[in-house]
Amino acid sequence: MFGPAGYAYIYLIYGMYYCTNVVTESEGTGSAILLRAVEPIKNIQGRTQGPGLLSKAMHIDKQLNQYDLTGDIIYIAETETQEPFTIVEKPRIGVHYAKDWAEKLLRFYIKDNAYISKP
């Protein structure tokens, strides 16, 4: 999570689920975006609504930690065709302990998309 930007940060939670993040700041600064869901385009088996399900369906585990997400092994790419969409901003889920930050609009998803993770 401490860089460099554009790399994968993957960790195990509850001893059974991998969470996939994209590092977003320069090396040495802790900042990443958790991928909570993806809309499968092709070659993905299984559900992708939720961080653990997403990683499982895409066969992501700690072996891909710190990989360049613009490389050849695992990567994020822009689609060739994209319909217009609206981004929804909501408070994050399950962070009541975060006090003042609990209600900040830090959860983003595509409005009416069938693949968003549910609270």
Digit-coded pLDDT (tens) for 37-96 = 988 877 778 888 989 999 999 999 999 999 999 999 988 888 888 889 999 999 988 899
**95: Cβ–Cβ under 8 A, 6 or more apart, which residues?**
101, 102
Tokens of 100: 């003042």
Nearest residue to 54 via CA among 44, 63, 68, 62: 44
Q: Cα–chain-centroid distance for residue 28?
A: 20
**Structural domains of the chain, with CATH:** 8-110 (3.10.300.10)
Spatial contact of 46 and 54, defined as CB atoms under 8 Å apart? no
pTM of the shown model: 0.83
Q: 64 is written with which tokens?
A: 């891909």
